Chains A and B, each alone.
Chain A
């Protein structure tokens, strides 16, 4: 008896795979300001895709196949902890690729396979789900939670070829009894879902933990991060690997600073996430937002602001991962804040006094 898993990642090019109940508009909005599939975005040290893969690997699932509807190598790049059992495949048609994988599993003696959208992170007991599926003697069992169906299910590889798996598991058509997930579920349908997931993890609402070390209760600092003695980190918070937090900064209210970020003097990061390779300038106040390079997504107003002054915000990565354009100009309100005229080359004395820590 063997068990496999198929993790499906949507990169935005193919519209063949509705991983969640999201229409095209929602999908485009979902990537607003991020520019890459949400499961591949690193949050608290690891992407949700990595976490999903690791859950299967730790559960000793024999083979984990990641099907990407775009460039698989690009996603594999973000998955640092590659395991022998994990294979990445780039496919055009997700539906037929799942069928092909299941056929191969069946031929290699694997009886059952989990199929999950990478947009769905769940902490359900895989063994319990598997047992439920076997006892119900169905060809496929889909998982649901209190909000409805999830892009997650399990199929009997031998019998699955006779049915339309994609319809059963992802669209919820024609399936028998469903498995109810009581545990924590996070669906990444919009960029704000990243923030919700981070907040849940930092507040201990789920089993997911940030990478790195908990240096004091609720404050996680990852490898190589440098936090100035005069920086104020209010728990819970996460500082990613290689990030630098300079003096008189305040990181507060479940904020996360991902890898290789730089937060300059006197800046306040409140209830926000700074995605990897982002430089935040001097005395900037980032609240209820997600910052990625020079883009700032305000979660309260659902607006993406593109900052053209590199002194305020910029990407620190020489070549930023931009697989493809994701924001449609007519469907996203993009405000370009041209702050070039107000550019401040050197910090003025009043700027340093803006931080209340200095009294």
Chain B
């Protein structure tokens, strides 16, 4: 487990089954105590995931949502991605290539559109107008 600013990044175990999943949930629960937890589950190590593993993901998401937070997945292996897709669980999560990217996405709010207010075509057009227009 590590933190990137207010975002908690947790690495999932290599085998995400009932046993490992229960341990993982027990480790994770204290981290969810904060208001609006922001969590990234790094799946780069996951080689095996079964239905209990899927339940871990869903339970984690439910816990995070209860606290008005969000949970994102990162670095899914192709096999893991295929399983999530088959179970139709993938659509419940935002999935990113890397944990860094997922952590960054919590902060990225798009810049507002800036309206052009000055008449760019009045008078002769030159570099000043170009600046105004931009």
Identify the A interface with B (CB < 8 A). 1, 3, 58-60, 125-128, 130-131, 134, 204, 207, 209, 214, 216-218, 229-230, 232, 234-235, 250, 252-253, 268, 270, 356-357, 359
Contact = CB atoms under 8 A, between A and B. Distances in A.
A235 B94 contact: yes
Contacts of A204: 110
Contact of B109 (A3, A127, A217, A250): A217
B47 to A, nearest CB: 23
Contacts of B59: 359
Nearest to A271: B91
Contacts of B112: 209
B28 to A, nearest CB: 16
B91 A253 contact: yes
Contact of A250 (B92, B113, B130): B92
A127 B120 contact: yes
Given A127-B120, A218-B105, A356-B88, 6 more contacts: A58-B115, A59-B121, A127-B133, A209-B113, A217-B109, A357-B65
Q: Sorted from nearest, which 10 A-B pairs have the closest CB atoms?
A: A60-B119, A127-B133, A252-B91, A127-B120, A58-B116, A58-B115, A217-B108, A209-B113, A270-B91, A3-B121
13 contacts: A60-B122, A127-B133, A204-B110, A229-B65, A230-B65, A232-B61, A234-B92, A250-B91, A356-B87, A356-B89, A357-B62, A357-B92, A359-B59
Contacts of A130: 121, 125
B34 interface: no
A217 B107 contact: yes
Contact of A234 (B94, B106, B113, B118): B94
Interface in B13-60: 55, 58-59
A126 B119 CA distance: 11
A205 to B, nearest CB: 12
Given A58-B116, A58-B117, A230-B65, A1 B89 contact: no
Contact of A1 (B61, B105, B115, B121): B121
For B58, B70, B115, B121, the residue with the greatest tally of chain A CB atoms inside 10 Å of its CB is: B121
A234 B72 CA distance: 9
B101 interface: no
A217 B130 contact: no
Interface residues of B, number: 36
A57 B29 CA distance: 53
Contacts of A268: 91
Contacts of B125: 127, 130-131, 134
A60 B121 CA distance: 8
B68 to A, nearest CB: 7
Nearest to A287: B91
Nearest to A232: B92
Contacts of B121: 1, 3, 59-60, 127, 130
A359 B109 CA distance: 31
B129 interface: yes
Given A127-B130, A230-B65, A359-B59, A60 B107 contact: no
Contacts of A125: 133
Contacts of B133: 125, 127-128
B94 A357 contact: no
Nearest to B108: A217
Contacts of B122: 1, 60
Nearest to B121: A3
A112 to B, nearest CB: 8
B63 to A, nearest CB: 11
